[in-house]
Structure 1
C-alpha cells in the first residue's frame, strides 16, 4: 500500500509533497487536509490542487528548456 501511495504522489503531480516540504509538514498531513477541505467546501480545493499541479509542471518544463537566463 505504501508503494502505491509513493507512486501516485511522486509520479503524478507531487503537489502535496512540495507544499509539505516548503511549509515543514509531512506530505500525508497536507494530503489529508486537501481531502477534508474538499469534503467541507464541496470540491473547490481540487481546483486549487490541479492549478498548482499545472503551474508546477510548467515551471519544470521551462527549467528544462533554458539552462541560463541568457539562453534565448
Structure 2
C-alpha cells in the first residue's frame, strides 16, 4: 500500500485498495460513485445493488441533514 498525503482522496485509488481485500463490506461515500469505481464495485456485487446502496445512503444522509435543521419543540 503506497503512502499518500493525508489530504489526498482514496476514491481515485479504489481499484488498488481492493487488491487482496477479503472484506465483506466496504463503507464508501459519494466520492466513490464515479463510473469507474462503480464498475470496480460491480465485480464484487451487481451494479443494481451498488446503485441501490448509493441511493439508500444518499436518502439517509438527506434525511439526517433535514432532521438536524428542524427544531423540535416538546409539547
In proportion to residue count, which structure has more helix? Answer: 1
Larger radius of gyration: 2
TM-score by length of 2: 0.44
